[in-house]
C-alpha cells in the first residue's frame, strides 16, 4: 500500500482570535474524516468529498451552512471536484440554497456530460439526483447576516469580503489524486457572481501527472491568474510541493496585488501550503502518522 495523504484548508482571510480554536478543530475533523476513508483504502475523491461535506455543515466556514450572503441576503454556492486521472472534473456555480454543493459537483463529474452547471439548471440536475435546496434562509447564519450588514455599511473592502472557503486535496493508496473546493463566495456579491472555486484551473485542479490543488482568497484575482493550474504546472516542471505553492502565490501577488492562499499535494504525498492573506486554517493527515497536523497559518 502506497502512502496516502490529505490536506484541508478553511479559507484565506481574517480569523478573529475567538474563532481560531473552532476553525482549527473544524479542519482537524475534516482531515480525520478523509483519513478514515484513505486508511480504509478508499479513493482520494471520496476522501476530499467527505472532508468538504463536513466543513459545509460547520457554520464557522463560508460553505453550505454558514455561506456568505449575496447583497440580496440570499445564498448562492460554488463548488468543484476534480480527479487527476483523465482530468475529470465536475462543478456547480451560483447554485441557490445547496447545503452540500460538493455532492452535486461530484454528480456532475460522475455523469461526465458537462464540467460546470450553474443556477437553475444546476438545481434541475440536482433534483434528478435526489439533491434539493434548503428552504429560503435555512443556510444563513447570524454571523453571515452580521457580515452582510457590515458590508452594507461600507465597513468591508471588496477584496476582503471572502474568507472561510473550504477545500481539500488528497493522494490515495492507489496513487490517485483529487481536489475539492466549496464556498458561498464573497459577502455582498451580486447574485449570479461566480468566483474561482468552481472554475477548473482557478480554484481547483488535479492532474495525475503532477498533483492536486485547492485555492482560496480573492476570487476575481485567482480567476485571472488561474492559480491552481499555475501551481500544478510548477510541480510538473520540477518544483517541490512547498516551492510550487509559494511560487504560484508569489506570481498572483505580483500580478494582481491580491490576497490568497492554497494547498496542494504532489504524486508522492508531499504537501505544500502558501498564504499572503492574514490567516488560513489547515489540517494534514498522512499514512503512518497517528497525529493530525493542524494550525492557523499567518502571512
| Residues at the contact surface with ligand ASP, assessed by CB under 6 A | 11-13, 62, 162-165, 183, 185-186, 195-197, 203, 216-217, 219, 222
Q: How far is the CB of 217 from ligand ASP (least distance, A)?
A: 5
H helices present in the chain, as ranges: 20-39, 44-57, 101-111, 119-128, 142-152, 219-225, 227-236, 241-256
Q: Which residue, 11 or 269, has its beta carbon nearer to ligand ASP?
A: 11
Q: How far is the CB of 81 from ligand ASP (least distance, A)?
A: 16
| Residue where the block lists cell 494550525 | 295
Q: Which residue, 34 or 277, has its beta carbon nearer to ligand ASP?
A: 277
Q: Coil, strand or helix: which one is 18? A: helix
Q: Nearest-CA neighbor of 169 among 80, 63, 234?
A: 80
DSSP line for 89-153: EEEEEEEET-S-HHHHHHHHHHH-S-SEEEHHHHHHHHHHTT--PPPTTTT--HHHHHHHHHHHT
Name the E strands within 172-292.
177-183, 204-207, 211-217, 260-266, 271-275, 279-286
Q: How far is the CB of 12 from ligand ASP (least distance, A)?
A: 6
Q: How far is the CB of 197 from ligand ASP (least distance, A)?
A: 5
CA distances from 120 to 127, 129, 135, 215, 258 (A): 11, 14, 15, 26, 31
Q: Which residue, 41 or 257, has its beta carbon nearer to ligand ASP?
A: 257
Q: How far is the CB of 86 from ligand ASP (least distance, A)?
A: 26
Q: Which residue, 90 or 164, has its beta carbon nearer to ligand ASP?
A: 164
Grid coordinates of 254: 505580483
Active-site residue, 141 included? no
Q: Which residue, 131 or 227, has its beta carbon nearer to ligand ASP?
A: 227
Q: Which of 70, 165, 186, 256 is catalytic?
A: 165
User: Which residues are part of the catalytic machinery?
Assistant: 165
Amino acid at each position: 500500500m502506497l502512502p496516502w495523504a490529505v490536506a484541508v484548508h478553511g479559507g484565506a482571510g481574517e480569523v478573529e482570535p475567538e474563532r481560531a480554536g473552532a476553525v482549527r478543530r473544524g479542519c482537524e475533523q475534516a482531515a480525520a474524516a478523509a483519513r478514515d476513508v484513505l486508511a480504509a483504502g478508499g479513493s482520494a475523491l471520496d476522501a476530499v468529498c467527505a472532508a468538504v461535506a463536513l466543513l459545509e455543515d460547520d457554520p464557522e466556514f463560508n460553505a453550505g451552512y454558514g455561506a456568505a450572503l449575496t447583497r440580496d441576503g440570499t445564498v448562492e454556492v460554488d463548488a468543484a471536484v476534480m480527479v487527476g486521472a483523465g482530468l475529470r472534473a465536475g462543478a456547480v456555480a451560483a447554485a441557490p440554497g445547496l447545503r452540500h454543493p460538493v455532492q452535486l459537483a461530484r454528480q456532475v463529474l460522475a455523469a461526465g456530460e458537462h464540467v460546470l452547471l450553474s443556477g437553475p439548471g444546476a438545481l434541475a440536475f440536482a433534483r434528478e439526483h435526489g439533491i434539493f435546496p434548503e428552504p429560503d434562509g435555512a443556510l444563513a447564519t447570524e454571523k453571515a447576516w452580521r457580515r452582510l450588514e457590515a458590508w452594507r455599511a461600507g465597513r468591508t473592502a471588496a477584496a476582503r469580503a471572502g474568507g472561510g472557503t473550504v477545500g481539500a486535496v488528497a493522494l490515495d493508496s492507489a496513487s490517485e489524486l483529487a481536489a475539492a473546493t466549496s464556498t458561498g463566495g464573497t459577502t455582498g456579491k451580486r447574485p449570479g457572481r461566480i468566483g474561482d472555486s468552481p472554475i477548473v484551473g482557478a480554484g481547483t485542479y488535479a492532474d495525475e501527472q503532477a498533483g492536486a490543488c485547492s485555492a482560496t482568497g480573492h476570487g476575481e484575482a485567482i480567476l485571472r491568474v488561474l492559480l491552481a493550474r499555475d501551481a500544478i504546472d510548477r510541480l510538473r516542471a520540477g518544483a517541490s510541493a512547498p516551492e510550487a505553492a509559494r511560487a504560484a502565490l508569489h506570481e498572483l501577488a505580483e500580478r494582481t496585488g491580491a490576497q490568497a492562499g492554497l494547498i496542494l499535494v504532489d504524486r508522492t504525498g508531499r504537501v505544500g501550503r502558501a498564504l499572503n492573506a492574514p490567516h488560513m486554517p489547515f489540517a494534514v493527515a498522512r499514512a503512518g502518522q497517528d497525529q493530525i497536523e493542524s494550525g492557523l497559518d499567518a502571512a
